[in-house]
């Protein structure tokens, strides 16, 4: 019989190496899974590469693991990894054909795995993180709402008439593409993006599709065309900055299930009455984000804001048409 019982580790801050991250079942020292799946590490030679956590600690990709019981791995996570690996092998078309819910849950698992390591580190008295994510009330509410969505990894859950995330799938042109793999995450805005070969996934994991609506006009002009890496970086900056402006936290409620039900149904609520959904866009703040995304091309904020009313763009030319950038800087 399918269990419809939800688990909430935030209820008693149950984050440890001896508790399954997904169901709360006690685990042994060997019951762990890599946050970045093994197949991904092998494809992009990540086994000896390092990443930095919020507390400034350095860890290798294989050492970034989370506790997971055999049941959750074998029945829920392994089948999802198989789906995503198969989609990956088909490139952009594979990810666009994959159920968006599966992509969302896969990205969420990686995002949450990084978060769990941060929360476990905060419990270590020898580690003093600069910004303790577990002590921020607003972030606590966000993470608890997000985890409620993540339960769809192990419990059959239908999101009724809403999509929990904004997902953008882009293709990188081969020209000037020298970075086979990279990822970026931002805990406070629930943003995660990952580049795998010529595929780029950019996702706000907790916005009920609001960023998708706000950026749809731009996305429609680029989602079926290979983009130069500098153009991908610009669109990524737009999404990350829009997530920063998002002013609401969705709430999720499960309907009471009847004894014969084999799934749960979630409803959602957004408070768009007492507050604006987005804070106002400011070009100066956006330029700061864009400068960071364009760091490898050494484009400064001053250059971006040469015209303060119209920040520099590599996506569109003076007529508003999509630029076809073969190389940057242009070969003369």
- 68 vs 17: CA distance, rounded Å: 9
- Say yes or no: 146 and 190 in one domain: no
Of the two residues 9 and 172, the one the predictor is more confident about is 172
Of the two residues 322 and 329, the one the predictor is more confident about is 322
| Residue 306 burial (C-beta neighbours within 10 Å; 0-12, 13-18, 19+) | exposed
Percent of the chain with pLDDT over 70: 94
Which of 132, 159, 186 marks a domain boundary?
A: 159
- pLDDT in the model for residue 135: 67
Structure tokens at 142: 């966000």
- Say yes or no: 139 and 216 in one domain: no
Average pLDDT for 79-100: 98
pLDDT, tens digit, 9 for 90 and up, residues 132-164: 555 678 888 999 999 999 999 999 999 999 999
- pLDDT in the model for residue 125: 47
- Say yes or no: 255 and 316 in one domain: yes
- Say yes or no: 168 and 314 in one domain: yes
Q: What residues make up the domain containing 214? A: 161-332
What proportions of the chain, in percent to the nearest 5, are helix, strand and coil? Answer: 40, 15, 45
- Say yes or no: 8 and 83 in one domain: yes
Q: Is the pLDDT of residue 56 over 60?
A: yes
- 172 vs 91: CA distance, rounded Å: 11
- pLDDT in the model for residue 137: 82
pLDDT, tens digit, 9 for 90 and up, residues 253-262: 999 988 888 9
């Amino acid at each position: 019989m399918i269990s419809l019982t939800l688990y909430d580790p935030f209820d008693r801050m149950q984050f440890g190496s001896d508790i399954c991250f997904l169901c709360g079942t006690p685990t042994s020292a060997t019951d762990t899974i890599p946050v970045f799946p093994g197949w991904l590490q092998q494809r992009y030679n990540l086994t000896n590469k390092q990443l930095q956590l919020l507390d400034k600690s350095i860890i290798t990709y294989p050492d970034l693991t989370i506790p997971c019981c055999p049941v959750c791995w074998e029945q829920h996570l392994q089948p999802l990894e198989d789906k995503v690996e198969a989609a990956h092998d088909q490139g952009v078309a594979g990810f666009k054909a994959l159920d968006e819910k599966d992509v969302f849950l896969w990205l969420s698992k990686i995002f949450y795995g990084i978060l769990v390591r941060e929360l476990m580190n905060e419990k270590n008295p020898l580690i003093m993180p600069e910004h303790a994510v577990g002590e921020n009330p607003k972030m606590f509410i966000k993470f608890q709402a997000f985890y409620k969505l993540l339960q769809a990894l192990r419990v059959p859950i239908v999101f009724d008439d809403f999509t929990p995330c904004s997902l953008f799938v882009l293709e990188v042109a081969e020209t000037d593409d020298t970075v086979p793999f990279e990822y970026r995450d931002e805990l406070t805005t629930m943003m995660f993006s990952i580049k795998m070969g010529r595929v780029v996934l950019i996702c706000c994991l907790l916005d009920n599709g609001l960023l998708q609506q706000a950026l749809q006009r731009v996305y429609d002009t680029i989602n079926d065309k290979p983009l130069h890496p500098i153009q991908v970086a610009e669109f990524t900056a737009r999404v990350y900055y829009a997530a920063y402006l998002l002013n609401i936290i969705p709430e999720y409620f499960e309907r009471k299930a009847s004894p014969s039900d084999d799934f749960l149904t979630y409803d959602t609520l957004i408070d768009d009455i007492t507050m604006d959904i987005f804070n106002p866009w400011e070009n100066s703040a956006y330029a700061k984000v864009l400068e960071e995304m364009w760091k490898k091309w050494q484009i400064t904020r001053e250059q971006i804001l040469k015209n303060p009313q119209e920040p520099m763009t590599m996506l569109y030319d003076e007529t508003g048409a999509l630029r076809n950038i073969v190389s940057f800087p242009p070969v003369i």
